[in-house]
A = this chain, B = another copy of it.
Amino acid sequence: MEPERSLGEEKIFSGKIIKVSRYTVELSNGIKTTREVVRHPGAAAILPYDEATGKVYLVTQFRFPVGQTLLEVPAGKLDIAGEDPLECAKRELLEETGMSAARFEYLGYIFTTPGFSDEKIHLFLALKLEKVAELSTDEDELVDVVETDWREFLKWCEEGRITDAKTLALALRSRRFLEGRE
């Protein structure tokens, strides 16, 4: 038996990016309650790492919901539900940093906030980088690129200068890949 069984969905909002529904559910103990769910198409996030120089490339972007400019890894939504996350990663890396990568390591996915949303972000480490274009972000997405050392980036994640959850998750998974287990 499912731990929580839907007894009905009330569709509340269908926006440009998110959809919101409220479900009536029955729990395994028989109790009835409601669940508010924000549907999101999913996304890909990329840490571009230059093996020759030890540099990583981040972006700063004003985030209206939190009212702050945040330092994050390049990332973007899947264009269509079911878009290959790797294709999304390649596109967003190019759009936000002007770079392509000859090698992508898939580092699994995360759920950003599974208590109220289904948003799933696929994590990639991008290697063998090449600068191929000027930036070409969407007109309503203004980003700047920040270049720093891998160890400095890790410190920013650990010490709290970086607060974006997907960026911290990608730092943890990338660290395993780049430095191994001690």
Residues of B within 8 A of A25 (CB): 64
- A171 on the B face (CB < 8 A): yes
| 0/1 string, A154-174, CB within 8 A of B gives 1 | 010111100111101101110
From B116, B155, B158, contact of A18 by CB (8 A): B116
Give residues 17-59 of A contacting B (CB, 8 Å): 17-18, 20, 22-23, 25, 27-29, 31, 33-38, 40
Q: Is the interface of A mostly helix, strand, loop or mixed?
A: mixed
- A12 on the B face (CB < 8 A): yes
Q: How large is the interface on A (under 10, 10 to 19, 20 to 34, 35 or more residues)?
A: 35 or more
- A81 on the B face (CB < 8 A): no
Oligomeric state, in number of copies?
2
* Beta-carbon nearest neighbor of A3 in chain B: B62
Give the distance to chain B from A20, nearest Cβ to Cβ, in Å. Answer: 5
Give residues 89-118 of A contacting B (CB, 8 Å): 107-118
From B35, B112, B171, contact of A172 by CB (8 A): B171
Other contacts beyond A20-B38, A28-B142: 6, CB < 8 A: A13-B13, A13-B20, A29-B139, A108-B159, A110-B168, A113-B113
28 A-B residue pairs with CB within 8 Å: A3-B62, A13-B13, A15-B34, A16-B34, A18-B20, A18-B116, A20-B38, A23-B64, A27-B142, A28-B142, A29-B139, A31-B140, A37-B65, A38-B65, A63-B111, A66-B111, A68-B114, A70-B111, A70-B114, A109-B160, A110-B164, A111-B163, A112-B112, A121-B165, A158-B172, A158-B175, A168-B168, A169-B172
- A binding-site residues for B, Cβ under 8 Å: 3-4, 6, 12-13, 15-18, 20, 22-23, 25, 27-29, 31, 33-38, 40, 62-70, 72, 107-121, 139-140, 142, 155, 157-160, 163-166, 168-169, 171-173, 175-176, 181-182
